[in-house]
Structure 1
Amino acid sequence: MARQIATNTTVDRDELLDFLRSRRNGVLVTTRTDGCPQLSPVTYGVDGEGRVVISTYPERAKVRNLRRRPQASFVSLGDDFGDAWVQVDGTAEVLDVPESVEPLVEYYRAAAGKEHPDWDEYRQAMVDQGKSIVRITIERWGPVATGGFPARLVEED
C-alpha cells in the first residue's frame, strides 16, 4: 500500500469556518483543577457568530472546568480516523436555562443541519432537561491537517 504524505494546509477564518461546518464530531479539551487536561468527545455546530457550540448539561466535567477556567481547545474530526482535522483555541462561555434555550435552537440547526419538526416541543425539552450550551469564541487555529508520513519517506511512483 502506498504511503500517504502528511499535510498541513493553512486556512483563513472563512475557510476554517467552512471546514468546521462540514463536520459534526470533535474533542473538547478543558483543564481540571489539578491542571491536567480533560478531554470530552462531543457533537458540535458552528453558530452565526462563528463560534463552536456544544450542547451539554451543567453537571458535566467540561462545564465545571470551563466555569473555573474558560480557556478551551477543540479538535474537529471527520467520520473516519484518517480524515483531515483542525485544532482551534479560544475562550468559552457556558449558558444555562433559560438563556441557553434560543442558542440551543441555533445549535440544533447547525449540528443537525435541518429544522426540528416541533420547535415548541424542542424548547420545552431543553428547559425540562436543564440543558446548557458551551460557546467557544475562536481566537487562534492551526492548519487543517492529515496524518501520514513525512514527504522524505514517501517513494515517488
Structure 2
Amino acid sequence: MARKYATAEAVAADELHDFIRPRHQMVLTTFRSDGSLQTSPVTGGLDEHGRIVVASYPQRAKAANIRRDPRASVLVLSDEFNGAYVQVDGPAEVIELPEAVEALVGYFRAVAGEHPDWDEYRQAMVDQGKCLIRVTPQRWGPVATGGFPPS
C-alpha cells in the first residue's frame, strides 16, 4: 500500500472561498467566559461577501460566547474524513431576528440551493427563533491533508 503524504497549500482569499464553497461540514470554536474553548460541529456555508455563515439559536453557547467575545475559529472539513481541510479565524457576529431573516435565506442558498417556498422558509426561521452567526475570514492556515511527513 502506497504511503499518503501530508500536504499544506497556502491559498489566497479567492482560492479559500473556492475551497469552502462546496464544503458544509464545519467545526466552530468560540471562547467561554473563563477563556476556555467551546467547540460545536455545525453546518455552514459561504455568503456572497466571503463570510462563513452558520444558522443557530440565540440561546446556544456558541451565540452567547460570540456576543461576549466576538472571535471564532472554523475548521472546514471535506466530506471524507481524511480529505482536505482548512482552519479559518476571524471576527464573528450574531445576527438576531428580524434582521437575520434575509441573512438566513442567504445561508440556506449557500448550503442547500433554492427553497421551494421562500415565504414558508422565512416564517419557519421566525417561528423557530433562529439567528445567524457570521465569521469574517481574517487569517487562515493552508489547505491541508493528513498523512506521513513529506520528508
TM-score by length of 1: 0.95
What is the alpha-carbon distance in structure 2 between the residues aligned to residue 86 and residue 37 of structure 1? 18
Give the SS at the match of 1:134.
strand
What is the alpha-carbon distance in structure 2 between the residues aligned to residue 61 and residue 85 of structure 1? 24
Where does residue 47 of structure 2 map in the other structure?
A: 47
Deviations 1:30-88 (A, max 9, x none): 00111111000000010010000000000110001000000100000011110000000
Give matches, 1:1-157, under 5 Å: 1-112=1-112, 114-152=113-151
What is the alpha-carbon distance in structure 2 between the residues aligned to residue 24 and residue 67 of structure 1? 23
What is the alpha-carbon distance in structure 1 between the residues aligned to residue 2 and residue 37 of structure 2? 36
Uncovered stretches (5+) of structure 2, i.e. residues with no partner: none
Uncovered stretches (5+) of structure 1, i.e. residues with no partner: 153-157
Give the SS at the match of 2:30.
strand
What is the alpha-carbon distance in structure 1 between the residues aligned to residue 136 and residue 114 of structure 2? 24
Give the SS at the match of 2:92.
strand
Per-residue deviation, 1:22 = 1.6
Give the SS at the match of 2:138.
strand
What is the alpha-carbon distance in structure 1 between the residues aligned to residue 125 and residue 91 of structure 2? 24
What is the alpha-carbon distance in structure 2 between the residues aligned to residue 2 and residue 65 of structure 1? 44
Runs of 4+ in structure 1 off by over 2 angstroms are none
What is the alpha-carbon distance in structure 1 between the residues aligned to residue 109 and residue 73 of structure 2? 23
What is the alpha-carbon distance in structure 1 between the residues aligned to residue 5 and residue 93 of structure 2? 38
What is the alpha-carbon distance in structure 2 between the residues aligned to residue 92 and residue 128 of structure 1? 24
What is the alpha-carbon distance in structure 2 between the residues aligned to residue 27 and residue 129 of structure 1? 23
What is the alpha-carbon distance in structure 2 between the residues aligned to residue 83 and residue 60 of structure 1? 29
What is the alpha-carbon distance in structure 2 between the residues aligned to residue 80 and residue 48 of structure 1? 26
Where does residue 155 of structure 1 map in the other structure?
A: none
What code does the residue aligned with 1:65 have? N
What is the alpha-carbon distance in structure 1 between the residues aligned to residue 2 and residue 31 of structure 2? 39
* Paired positions, count: 151
What code does the residue aligned with 2:3 have? R
What code does the residue aligned with 2:133 have? V
